[in-house]
């Protein structure tokens, strides 16, 4: 961002100097400004906005106790990566039936990870303020029975650009349940989300990461396109890893939950601090998962 800002500012300065008395500058008849004046003003205005946005980010990082300012996410890729089911995560007939892919990482060279938050049990207003102040994207996977007592909280989240996705109505372990029962859980949550929040999502995460062929068949019938799982899980006081080397990789999907001190050794703000301090120290930005799908 600093490099881009420098280029913009230099361009604005150069253009401005030309207007202010360069020997080859010609002022049109009638005392009008040179034709290149508006672009120079636009560049200067854009540079000012960039500086203000960065200053706000620095102040927010200090206010929320972060060690460093989080890196800004890269723009959404013009060409979306091809998402395939992770090896070993397939079900019988996965490809032939064109079932939603199950994956733990997005194939990308961007040094970016994705934060996903499950269920909806804790409604911490400080968490909403923190994520808004820091402008950090995340994706929510909600269960209906945990959301219904405070839909206003999740509407606030949605108003900030967070996509509210499907995590079933009642959070059962779906594996082994009948196709009809699984369809009720998944399609029922699709209808609930549309009724309460105005949209049927394309993403579904099975509770506990547990699924079978019937799960993915039902999900597809209900309009689901993707079934993202996770590579790592972050808590208020520790991390857990799917891979043995315990490393972050580009495109990793990180799981956490809407939890508070009753279940954790800390708050959601403590969890976000741990998460951001780690990914920022390792040179990663936090991206918006839906931008890559």
pLDDT of residue 25: 41
pLDDT at 244 over 90: no
Query: Of all helices (H) and strands (E), which one includes residue 116?
Result: strand 112-119
Position 178 confidence tier, pLDDT thresholds 50, 70, 90 = very high
pLDDT of residue 42: 75
Instruction: Let me know: does 105 contact 111? Beta carbons within 8 Å.
Output: no
Among the listed residues 231, 46, 254, 4, the one whose alpha carbon sits nearest the alpha carbon of residue 136: 254
Ranges of each domain in the chain: 2-20+35-61, 78-292
User: 3.10.129.10, 3.40.190.10, 3.20.20.370, 3.40.47.10: which CATH number matches 78-292?
Assistant: 3.20.20.370
pTM: 0.84
pLDDT at 8 over 60: no
Among the listed residues 249, 208, 205, the one whose alpha carbon sits nearest the alpha carbon of residue 231: 249
Instruction: Let me know: does 15 contact 40? Beta carbons within 8 Å.
Output: yes
pLDDT at 255 over 60: yes
For residue 105, the SS3 value is strand
Q: Which residues of 26-47 are buried (b: 16+ CB within 10 A; e: fewer)?
A: eeeeeeeeeeeeeebeebbeeb
Instruction: Let me know: does 128 contact 157? Beta carbons within 8 Å.
Output: yes
- Pair type for strands 239-241 and 232-234: antiparallel
pLDDT of residue 49: 81
Q: At which residue do the structure tokens 């934060």 appear?
A: 115
pLDDT of residue 39: 67
């Amino acid at each position: 961002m600093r490099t881009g800002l420098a280029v913009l500012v230099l361009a604005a300065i150069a253009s401005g100097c030309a207007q202010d008395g360069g020997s080859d500058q010609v002022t049109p008849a009638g005392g009008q400004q040179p034709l290149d004046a508006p672009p120079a003003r636009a560049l200067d205005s854009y540079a000012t906005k960039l500086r203000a946005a960065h200053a706000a980010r620095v102040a927010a990082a200090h206010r929320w106790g972060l060690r460093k300012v989080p890196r800004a996410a890269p723009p959404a890729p013009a060409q979306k990566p091809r998402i395939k089911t992770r090896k070993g995560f397939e079900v019988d007939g996965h490809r032939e039936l064109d079932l939603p892919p199950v994956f733990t990482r997005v194939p990308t060279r961007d040094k970016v990870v994705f934060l996903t938050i499950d269920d909806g049990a804790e409604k911490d207003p400080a968490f909403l303020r923190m994520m808004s102040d820091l402008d950090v994207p995340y994706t929510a996977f909600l269960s209906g029975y945990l959301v219904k007592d405070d839909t206003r909280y999740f509407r606030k989240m949605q108003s900030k650009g967070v996509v509210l996705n499907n995590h079933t109505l009642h959070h059962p372990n779906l594996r082994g349940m009948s196709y009809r029962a699984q369809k009720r859980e998944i399609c029922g949550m699709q209808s609930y989300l549309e009724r309460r929040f105005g949209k049927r999502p394309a993403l579904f995460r099975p509770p506990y990461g547990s699924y079978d062929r019937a799960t993915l068949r039902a999900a597809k019938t209900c309009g689901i396109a993707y079934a993202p799982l996770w590579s790592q899980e972050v808590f208020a006081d520790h991390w857990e890893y799917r891979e043995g080397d315990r490393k972050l990789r580009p495109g990793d999907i990180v799981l956490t939950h809407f939890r508070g001190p009753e279940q954790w050794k800390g708050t959601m703000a403590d969890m976000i601090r741990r998460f951001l301090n780690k990914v920022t120290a390792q040179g990663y930005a936090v991206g918006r998962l839906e931008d890559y799908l």
